[in-house]
Amino acid sequence: MNVPPRWHLMSFYRIDDRGQRRLRHQRAIDDDDYWYIAPCGPQEYALALACEYFLDEQVPSGQRWVITVDVLTGERGQVTGRLCSMQVTVPPEDDLAPTEIRPRHHFV
């Protein structure tokens, strides 16, 4: 039985005016295997968590960010690989909340 990793490192990089990535926040997340079983996939789940961060930190709309999710060996472990990475432009606050996690595929 292949058991998915428990710990993931989510990193938030702000893209500045010169196009440089600046690390603004990181957090280790213990979500068991939800990254792998989320009906919408890991990128949409990461986007939902990023929207929560943008709301909590009152990030202005229009800013560009890169969000990465890396697999860790433990809570303070080493990075063993990248689960997903995406570039995001922060939408207006009205579009941020609530962010709904939706499945990629609809079964009939």
Q: Nearest-CA neighbor of 51 among 33, 39, 63? A: 63
> pLDDT for 1-31, tens place per residue?
455 567 889 999 999 999 999 999 999 888 6
Instruction: Give the mean model confidence (pLDDT) for residues 88-101.
Output: 72
| Amino acid, res. 89 | T
For residue 13, the model assigns a pLDDT of 98
For residue 17, the model assigns a pLDDT of 93
Q: Where are the domains of the chain?
A: 7-94
For residue 108, the model assigns a pLDDT of 43
Contact 47, 69 (CB under 8 A): no
The pTM for the full model equals 0.78
Q: Nearest-CA neighbor of 72 among 40, 31, 39? A: 31
